Structure 1
Amino acid sequence: MKAAQIMSFGTPDVLRVTETETPTPGAGEVLVAVEASSVNGHDTMVRAGGLKLVLGRKVPMGTGLDFAGVVVEIGTGVAGFRAGDRVWGMVHPRRRHTTAAAAEYVVVAADRIGLAPAGVSAIEAASLVVTGSTALIALRESVGLAGGERVLVRGAAGGVGTAAVQLAHAMGGHVTALARGRHAAALRDLGADEVLDYGTTTAEEIGPFDVILDTVGSELNCYRSRLAKGGRMVTVGLSAPALAAIAASAIHGSRRIRTFSANPGSAVLDDTADYVTSGALRPIVHSVYPLADIAAAHQAFEHGGVLGKHVLAVSS
């Protein structure tokens, strides 16, 4: 099978699409023929060498966190899925994979997949696996968003941001989106009640908010100060400075900066699929690349500034 692999750590040109053996599912696992995957911050961080302490230094290493495709083989002990099922899911983000989701086939634990939402293509589904589940966990579990609360989504035009705007709206929040001004109309269409241009708006000029969902990972203390009494903040944009800010914010109790590892199982994927099927969560795909052009997809992701996701078309 064809699979994208990291041959050494560095810039996108270390990625290669190679021929390798098709994996075989073990007990509790399924083999999925991948139709689409997407590019996420986790992928670029692994490729650049930022997770060597967790994943080790051995290369070649697989790349690609999420996928949508079709089950082709079931391992022993798997219930609830069968060959031919259209599914979506994620490989485990904290385990090293020789080949991962950016490949023609992927083996994954059955409790890390769900039935793909009806009414969307594999390309569209792949754009929502990480983004939709991450936004759902952040809003529902990390900060417990309630109807009527004022929500700020910082970095609202990105993958997680566009999902968060939609889900916060669906949960009854009053949503303020902070993003590039040129994305204002699209974000209002997704459910934002207000859109602020981050290029001309400072943190000191906005708020207070009951909930802040940050996808950027910088100036965290400044934005945390815009919380109302009893407000909650969560960030999914992790870096060394962000981790320091998160740790230091513990003195603020419930108004601290929270974070989490987005590692959804089948239940969260099923809940995300329900939002998609109902129309409350729509896929926002900016561009589609063939698997052979994965380096260009990584470059585009790191350049930023777009609305929605970069997706890899693996097979049809």
Structure 2
Amino acid sequence: MNEMPNTTMRAVRYDRYGPPEVLKVAHVPMPKPGPGQVLVKVHASSVNPIEAQVRAGKMRPMSGLRPPKGIGQDFAGEVVAAGPKVDDGLVGRRVWGTTFALGAANTAEYITVKEPLVAPVPPGLELVNAAALPTVGLTALVALGAANVQRGQRLLIVGAAGGIGSALIQIAHARGVEVATVSSGDNLSFCSDLGAKETYDYASLAALEQADAFHAVVDLYGANLGTYRSRLRSGGRIVTLAAKGMGYAMLSLLLPGPRVRLARAKPRKELLVELAQLVESGDLRPVVEKVYPLEEIGEAHRSVESGHSRGKRVIQVVGDVES
């Protein structure tokens, strides 16, 4: 049975590109689910680096001359209503997901989502932690698939301490892959605790030059791709998800040796289900650096832009943040 909430809600909005201060909490009309959609009461969202880039105006060729109305790709919450052509049995279920759109506006009390883009949250996982995983988890699965690395093979992850990297380390380790990471010196033990067998500091890559070659490299940073490409075994693959790596990826088509592959994730229910299975088996846990109340989303963006990440910044939309 559908339970339609109030006619207005709180949501993060901004009307111009700029610094984190442009993000405001506004009272806006409640969305209504259309055919094939569900209405989700969002308990938590999270901040991804690309959202900070969109907000700052760095993605205007793709996001448009005027900014999107809202922000936020990830969500975790409860289905409170179902539109036409959707099973009412979904109402009351805890769900999570991501829309992967530059104009996504999921940092809001209520959102409408196409039913195929939501999946059940793993039992026992708190919604505030669940919100940290959809975008980074799906991206990690896609990157690992593109790298085509197998059990017992060696994988180097560059930029490993952030949201995607922390998920990728855990998933690859669970699959029996021998994981090595490149991160800042402060994050070496953090990466090791997540499952990395070898850890290297960005600031001193001499040790990496002496390491055994790798079957695959996944780059999340976009710099020094030539160096990491040279550490591949014959027939190895290098995959980049960083926008800064796109130019080198195109250049690699003209160079001898392996080409740099670009990987991009899309929202897929089957991957959300796979993520849930990894969480339930204990092979994957959300890495949350800090939880912010909705009103402090600007501070969360500022923290993401600092570049010093250990996992995700989560925005708690419903309820109070635990101290």
TM range (shorter): over 0.9
Match of residue 2, structure 1, among 10, 15, 20:
10
Q: CA distance change for structure 1 residues 312 and 27 in 2, over 3 Å: closer, same or farther? A: same
2:188 aligns with 184
**TM-score, normalization: structure 1?**
0.92
4+ runs deviating over 6 angstroms: none
Give the equivalent residue in structure 2 for 1:32: 40
Q: Is the 8 A contact 1:145 1:171 kept in 2?
A: no
- In 1, distance between residues paired with 2:256 and 2:70? 39
Distance 1:226 1:68, change over 3 A: same
CA contact (8 A) 2:100 2:135 kept: no
Pick closer, same or farther for the CA change 1:251–1:274 going to 2, 3 Å: farther
The letter of the residue matching 1:37 is S
Q: CA deviation at 1:73?
A: 1.0
Shift of 1:175: 0.5
Mapping of residues 90-169 of structure 1, within 5 Å: 90-94=98-102, 96-97=103-104, 100-140=105-145, 142-169=146-173
Distance 1:114 1:179 in 2: 32
2:65 alignment partner, SS class = coil
> How many Å apart are 1:65 and its aligned residue?
0.7
Sort the Cα spacing of 1:79 and 1:53 in 2 relative to 1 into closer, same or farther, 3 A: farther
Show the 5 A alignment for 1:1-316.
Answer: 1-59=9-67, 61-79=69-87, 82-94=90-102, 96-97=103-104, 100-140=105-145, 142-202=146-206, 204-239=209-244, 242-251=245-254, 255-316=258-319
One-letter code aligned to 1:267: E
TM-score (norm 2): 0.91
Larger radius of gyration: 2
In the alignment, the residues of structure 2 paired with residue 109 and residue 92 of structure 1 have an alpha-carbon distance, to the nearest angstrom, of 13
2: CA distance between counterparts of 1:78 and 1:51?
Answer: 35
Q: Deviations over 1:136-165 (max 9, x none)?
A: 11102x122210110111111111011111
Unaligned runs of 5+ in 2: 1-8
Q: Report the Cα distance in structure 1 between the residues aligned to 2:218 and 2:224, rounded to whole angstroms.
A: 13
Q: Aligned partner of 1:262: which letter?
A: A
Secondary structure of the residue aligned to 1:221 is helix
Secondary structure at the residue paired with 2:96? strand
Contact 2:46 2:72 in 1 (8 A): yes
